Amino acid sequence: MVRQAEKEQKEELLQPPTQTFTEEPEVMTTYSNKRTELFSSEASSSEIRQRRVNTFDPEDTTNIESVLQHHRKTQEELTNDLVRMVERLKLNSETFGNILIRDEKIIDEAQNVIGSNLDRLKREGNRLGKYAARSSKTTWLVWSVVLFVCITWGLMFMLIRITPKG
């Protein structure tokens, strides 16, 4: 059972919208005023923060040399790091290759052992099958002898009861 409030809310949501949403012209003019205020060059320097303009002096080579030395030093450190990483990667790949070779040998040995065990199990299964066949013959022989003895005992019991004592 659906509650009445839920029904009303559902109907309200399913009705088409009655009013259209448009931005007010006042808001638009305010945005455009702010935009022109921000991007105009008429604004005073006290209102807008002025950034320093980087002036490049081609004659000032000490600063350029120090920057170049810094970049060369950084590049040399990165190169050394790359060389160390490559050496470590080479060592890791060689170690990984050796581990794979060892694992392959272990897998080959395990396959050989499993193959020999399978052969041995097949031979033992055949021997067990032959033994089971012989034992079933022996079992039937034992049961037939037990049945013969039971029948003989029953006949003797009846013979003793039927014949008069004399």
Domain that includes residue 98, residue range? 67-166
pLDDT value of residue 25:
58
Residue 148 lies in a domain: yes
Number of domains in the chain: 1
Residue 86 lies in a domain: yes
Q: Using one digit for the tens of pLDDT, what is the confidence trace for 123-153?
A: 999 999 888 888 877 888 889 999 999 999 9
Q: Using one digit for the tens of pLDDT, what is the confidence trace for 40-62?
A: 655 555 555 666 655 555 556 67
Residue 124 lies in a domain: yes
Report the 3 state secondary structure along the chain: CCCHHHHHHHHHHHCCCCCCCCCCHHHHHHHHHHHHHHHCCCCCCCCCCCCCCCCCCCCCHHHHHHHHHHHHHHHHHHHHHHHHHHHHHHHHHHHHHHHHHHHHHHHHHHHHHHHHHHHHHHHHHHHHHHHHHHHHHHHHHHHHHHHHHHHHHHHHHHHHHHCCCC
pLDDT value of residue 10:
72
Residue 30 lies in a domain: no
Q: Could you tell me the pTM of the whole model?
A: 0.39
Q: Using one digit for the tens of pLDDT, what is the confidence trace for 7-38?
A: 777 777 777 666 555 555 565 667 677 767 76
At residue 103 the predicted structure's pLDDT band, cuts being 50, 70 and 90, is very high
Residue 4 lies in a domain: no
